[in-house]
């Protein structure tokens, strides 16, 4: 089965050739309205994105994380966690309290956007492994086979 773009007076000439090989031929129309008209969407403000991987800069260390919720919501939770000295602190709040570091909440980078939870987990593991100065708990990457480490480190910035 073959598909080719339809060109008036030329496309029909291919049918006998394709029939000699017992194949079927279908014509497509490359210039459709769908290809010409794009749905206009306003870009979201940085902190309103969902299903994101983030990188939080703190002096010389980085924290990589993923969240399904809006980034703004997750950032707010981290700030509250630090301010109220939570009984189960996140990696960020624990680091800030122990090292007396302040995160640059307005400098958070979105590394990736992924709707699928499993794909987000894999991407999170890869991004954590790529970090040179990271504070993530390494148990986030335990299910990533060690064989991938060499490939991941070769992708890391020097």
Q: Which two tokens stand for residue 20?
A: 């000699």
Whether residue 56 lies inside any domain: the answer is yes
Number of structural domains found in the chain: 2
Same domain, residue pair 98 and 20: no
Give the residue from 45, 41, 81, 59 showing the smallest Cα distance to 134.
59
pLDDT range class, residue 87, cuts 50, 70, 90:
confident
pTM: 0.52
Is residue 69 located within the same domain as residue 132?
A: yes
- Asked if 98 contacts 122 with a C-beta cutoff of 8 angstroms, the reply is no
Task: Report the share of the chain in percent with pLDDT over 70.
Answer: 68
pLDDT at position 157, please? 59
Rounded Cα gap, residues 49 and 68, in angstroms? 9
Interatomic CA distance for residues 143 and 52, integer angstroms: 20
- The string of pLDDT tens digits covering residues 129-158 is 777 655 655 556 666 777 777 777 776 654
The answer on 63 and 15 residing in a single domain is no
User: Which is more confidently placed, 74 or 140?
Assistant: 74
Structural domain that includes position 118? 48-157
pLDDT tens-digit series, residues 118-129: 888 878 777 777
Q: What is the pLDDT of residues 27-58, one digit of tens each?
A: 888 777 666 666 666 666 666 677 765 665 55
């Amino acid at each position: 089965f073959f598909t080719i773009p339809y060109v008036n007076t030329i496309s029909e000439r291919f049918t006998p050739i394709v029939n000699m090989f017992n194949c079927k031929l279908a014509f497509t129309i490359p210039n459709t309205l769908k290809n010409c008209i794009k749905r206009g969407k306003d870009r979201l403000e940085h902190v309103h994105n969902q299903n994101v991987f983030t990188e939080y800069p703190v002096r010389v260390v980085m924290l990589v994380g993923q969240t399904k919720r809006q980034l703004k919501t997750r950032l707010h939770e981290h700030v509250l966690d630090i301010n109220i000295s939570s009984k189960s602190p996140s990696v960020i709040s624990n680091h800030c309290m122990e090292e007396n570091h302040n995160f640059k909440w307005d400098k958070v980078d979105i590394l990736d956007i992924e709707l699928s939870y499993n794909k987000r987990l894999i991407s999170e593991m890869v991004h954590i492994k790529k970090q040179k100065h990271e504070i993530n708990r390494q148990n986030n990457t335990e299910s990533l086979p060690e064989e991938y480490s060499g490939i991941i480190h070769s992708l890391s910035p020097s």
